[in-house]
Amino acid sequence: MKSNRRQFIKFSAIASSLFAFNKSKSAELMLSKTKKTVKPIVISTWRFGIEANEEAWKILINNGKALDAVEAGVKVPEADPNERSVGLGGRPDRDGKVTLDACIMDELGNIGSVACLENIVHPISVARAVMEKTPHVMLTGEGAFQFALSQGFKKENLLTPESEAEWREWLKKSDYKPKVNIENHDTIGMVALDMNGNLSGACTTSGMAFKMHGRIGDSPIIGAGLFVDNEVGAVTATGHGEEVIRIAGSHAVIELMRQGLHPEEACKRAVERIILSAKKRNKPLNEIQIGFIAINKNGEHGAFCLQKGFNYAVYSPDIKNQLIDAKHLL
Ligand code: ASP
């Protein structure tokens, strides 16, 4: 009996040291796995990208999903009434209505989009709900609004006194003249690579100030304002949406990266296509601005724009949230 007990104790000692060995071994394995994790990166358009990146980074650095990061990131300017080209406080259309466009895309090619959505602060989250909860990929106007309400989003007035005052001033002449940089339009486009090597993107805007009611830009159009291919990279666009749609801009950049071009070079080539397309139609180049930003599967980033004045925010372990001036062609 005693010897049995002794044997048992001996066995459990060996077993527990084995277990400890296995445990440390698996911790080691986990560590080597962690070592292999991808360096995350998030980039986004314009100066408001800095604050948006901050929010996205909290998710990325905690091993969260790129999809969650980009949604959380772009929600920052959406909710900020002082950002006059996105979400709450966005400049209205010529009828005084704030109409929002947004889309989202994940690493599996899941997509969701809303266009001409009114009275909802976070169109990006409605776009995500379209992606996750409906058999469709795009909802517009009243249908998008009713869907948002059914998902628990609250109806809110997005027209702030500042935007209303600007619109009333505009009504005096009613002259539709999109400016070149951030003066009367802007988009937050954000793309991210997470530690698991997955890419996602989000894009949201109130579009061109004083546009016709019902006008939809590039921002909610997958392939134009945003595109993600988990084998290649992720791209988003800002600027005159009509020009971006014409060349399926973000998709064009993806295809150029697929051919091996660095993100910056791919963005540059797409801007050159915009120039060619505008020249064919005798569209004066000084009236348009386009900016593309891109990351590839290796976490390299780049951007390019048509005119001077476009910048983008980069957050990675090496570049801790900096605004970078994009190179320009004109
Ligand atoms: N691309 C947006 C639109 O055309 C505007 C912008 O990014 O400036 O609606």
Question: pLDDT for 158-179, tens place per residue?
Answer: 999 999 999 999 999 998 988 8
Q: Which residue has the higher pLDDT, 17 or 52?
A: 52
Q: What is the pLDDT of residue 222?
A: 98
Token pair recorded at residue 163: 């935007």
Q: Give 152 Cα–ligand 1 centroid separation in angstroms.
A: 28
pLDDT exceeds cutoff 70 at 22? no
Residues marked as catalytic: 187
45 lines ligand 1 (CB under 6 A): no
184 lines ligand 1 (CB under 6 A): no
Using DSSP bridges, classify how beta strands 233-239 and 226-229 pair: parallel, antiparallel or unpaired. antiparallel
pLDDT exceeds cutoff 90 at 87? yes
Q: Give 146 Cα–ligand 1 centroid separation in angstroms.
A: 25
- Nearest-CA residue for ligand 1 atom 8 is 186
Q: How many CB atoms lie within 10 A of CB 45?
A: 32
Average pLDDT (56-79) is 98
pLDDT exceeds cutoff 50 at 310? yes
Identify the band that residue 117 occupies on the pLDDT scale cut at 50, 70 and 90. Answer: very high
Average pLDDT (69-85) is 97
238 lines ligand 1 (CB under 6 A): yes
Q: Which residue has the higher pLDDT, 182 or 217?
A: 217
Q: What is the pLDDT of residue 207?
A: 97
pLDDT exceeds cutoff 60 at 134? yes
Q: Give 187 Cα–ligand 1 centroid separation in angstroms.
A: 6
Fold of domain 38-328? Glutamine Phosphoribosylpyrophosphate, subunit 1, domain 1 (3.60.20)
186 lines ligand 1 (CB under 6 A): yes
Contact 119, 156 (CB under 8 A): yes
Average pLDDT across the chain, whole number: 92
90 lines ligand 1 (CB under 6 A): no
Q: Which atom of ligand 1 is nearest to the CA of 207?
A: 9
Q: Which residues have C-beta within 8 Å of that of residue 66, sequence separation ≥ 6? A: 40, 60, 106, 107, 192, 193, 194, 198, 199, 200
Average pLDDT (128-152) is 98
Q: What percent of the chain is predicted at pLDDT more than 70?
A: 89
| Cα gap 117→127, rounded to integer Å | 10
pLDDT exceeds cutoff 60 at 301? yes
Query: Where are the domains positioned within the chain?
Result: 38-328
pLDDT exceeds cutoff 60 at 19? no
Amino acid letter for position 328: H
Q: Which residue has the higher pLDDT, 226 or 37?
A: 226
Q: What is the pLDDT of residue 293?
A: 98
Q: What is the pLDDT of residue 21?
A: 44
Q: Among all chains, which residue has been given the structure tokens 């998710």?
A: 59
Average pLDDT (25-53) is 78
Using DSSP bridges, classify how beta strands 111-117 and 138-140 pair: parallel, antiparallel or unpaired. parallel
